[in-house]
Amino acid sequence: MRALLAASVALGSVLVSGAASLGCPKPGVVAKAVRPQPSVTVPGEARCGVAQGHAEPLVVEWPASVRAKLEALTRKGLVAVRWEGCELEVLASCKVPGAYAWTPITRKDDRVSMRDQDELWANVPIGAGGLEGKLARSGALHVRMTIVGRWQADRDVVRADELDGDCVRATHVVTAMAAGAFDFWAGAEATVAGGASIASYGAGGKSASSAELINRDGDVAACAKSSLADKTPPDGCGALLRIELSKVGAAKPETTHECTGKTAWDGKQCAALVVGSGLECPAGYVVAGNECQKPVASASASASAAHPPAAAPICSYGDAVECTRSCEIHGDAASCNDLALMLSRGEGVAADEKKATAFYVRACDLGSAIGCNNAGMRLEYGRGTPKDEATAATLYAKACDAGWPGACNNLGRMVINGWGVPKDEPRAVDLFRKGCGQGEIGACANLGWCYVRGRGVLADQAVGVGFLKKACNGGNGWACDRLATVGVKP
């Protein structure tokens, strides 16, 4: 994972590295140098969702280092960002085609005053959470701006398929930026309007008339030299004041082929988005390739099996009466699993999908890892029960924690796509890695594809192809197909 450098500032916490991130953490909480974690509910987050409808936020509250980061990136092309909740993250590793051009305007002076929280969140939604206290103490926040022009993108809409690099999290593209100079202060508006000079106060300093300078950039005197013939802003008058954001457009359809279920067209066929571990086996068996096999004693044969064997049942597979007694009277988890499988296949008993699912859940409750995985598959696809992806994910997690690697792969599928659980690609990669390390070929296939596509991990085709080859050679056809899409022979 990329390292994140935490820098604490008066307005909140800012993470600066390959991606610069602005948010509204709880008061007193400083950003930590850790890999990004799932978003948490913070004061004002509900307002952020409303504020995102306003796509021209001021950025005067941003620390100079973060505005400088954005300004530097604009020299290389258009800039993609992730704007979710109260957080805006500049995605330095996401390349967007296009360029910005300077459009000078007749110099204009503007002032924005924020006297209540609604006005605060409407104008500075990204940093509002860190300014609510200052607004409450001072009664008003003010921005005085001198605007000399705009950096304008050469396109208004960018499609998702046009992005290149680490762009999975991109939600918006910066399409314009107003530039010039500004003062941002707290206190009564009359204080400054009456003649008191903000320049006489140090950053954070207060005068007898209670004007407090919060932030400043650019030189008004330098802005006076601007003209309509400028190709760039005058030196000293290029501070970013406001940005305009446009949502990333939907990807251009590559084909009109319609695929069903959890599949997508890969250029040749409707292929699974990720490969699952969907084979139901009796307790005491192992999954080897696409078959359920009895474990054998030789080390080489054991190494080829994807899963360690579960505990053998005390009943004989196919004897429904004995397995029912062992499950319901003796509470034998393995017998419950095998009874469920018999009910699913109609072997030794009339097929009954509803009862099969119920006995898989019973096996899981009694501690059977394979039972939890089998129950999860039932709920994920709605076999013998209404479809319930959230509960399926919970069952997969229980089975994964209990040592069933196929469940780690199945949970990873859910997590990487946001099926029944919050989407979290780095966590999915960890799950695929865990399953692959324990011999689950499907997990190796998914891990390899994550490396190839840069999903949840830095893209590395060589590493990805290695995992895909391992899975393909282990009999996973999906992995072989993925190798073909990147022009590699198994």
Q: Are residues 482 and 440 in the same domain?
A: yes
Q: Are residues 122 and 217 in the same domain?
A: yes
Name the residue range of residue 199's domain: 50-81+94-247
**CB-based contacts of 422: which residues, under 8 Å, 6+ apart?**
38, 415
User: Of 247, 268, 298, which residue constitutes the final position of a domain?
Assistant: 247
Do 380 and 389 touch, CB atoms closer than 8 A?
yes
pTM for the full model? 0.45
Q: What is the reported pLDDT for 7?
A: 27
Please state the rounded mean pLDDT for residues 299-325.
Answer: 64
- Between 282 and 215, the more confident residue is 215
Q: What is the reported pLDDT for 38?
A: 33
Q: What is the reported pLDDT for 297?
A: 38
Q: Are residues 159 and 103 in the same domain?
A: yes
**Has residue 60 been placed in a domain?**
yes
Q: What is the CATH number of the domain that holds 440?
A: 1.25.40
Could you give the angle at the alpha carbon of 91 between the alpha carbons of 88 and 96, nearest 5°?
120
Q: What is the reported pLDDT for 306?
A: 42
Q: What is the CATH number of the domain that holds 345?
A: 1.25.40.10
Strand 87-91 relative to strand 19-22: parallel, antiparallel, unpaired? antiparallel
Q: Are residues 233 and 169 in the same domain?
A: yes
**pLDDT of 201 over the 50 cut:** no
In this prediction, residue 356 has a pLDDT band, given cuts at 50, 70 and 90, of: very high
Q: What is the reported pLDDT for 128?
A: 85
Q: What is the reported pLDDT for 287?
A: 54
Q: What is the reported pLDDT for 265?
A: 53
Q: Are residues 488 and 428 in the same domain?
A: yes
Q: Are residues 460 and 355 in the same domain?
A: no
**pLDDT of 11 over the 80 cut:** no
In this prediction, residue 467 has a pLDDT band, given cuts at 50, 70 and 90, of: very high
Q: Are residues 373 and 440 in the same domain?
A: no
Do 175 and 153 touch, CB atoms closer than 8 A?
yes
Please state the rounded mean pLDDT for residues 426-434.
Answer: 96
Say which range, 85-99, 260-274, 301-315, 349-363, has the weakest mean pLDDT: 301-315
Q: Are residues 430 and 302 in the same domain?
A: yes
Say which range, 116-125, 149-158, 386-395, has the weakest mean pLDDT: 116-125
Q: Are residues 60 and 155 in the same domain?
A: yes
| Domain count of the fold of the chain | 3
Q: What is the reported pLDDT for 450?
A: 94
Q: Are residues 275 and 374 in the same domain?
A: no
**CB-based contacts of 473: which residues, under 8 Å, 6+ apart?**
490
Structural tokens at position 352: 């009954």
**pLDDT of 183 over the 90 cut:** yes
**pLDDT of 261 over the 80 cut:** no
Helix axis angle, 353-365 to 333-345, nearest 10°: 160
> What does each C-alpha distance from 209 to 164, 182, 480 come to in angstroms?
52, 21, 73
Ranges of H-type helices in 179-261: 189-193, 220-223
**Has residue 87 been placed in a domain?**
no
Q: What is the DSSP letter of 198?
A: G
Do 75 and 199 touch, CB atoms closer than 8 A?
no
Q: Are residues 65 and 192 in the same domain?
A: yes
Mean model confidence pLDDT for the chain? 78
The secondary structure element, H or E, covering residue 173 is strand 172-186
Q: Are residues 293 and 323 in the same domain?
A: no
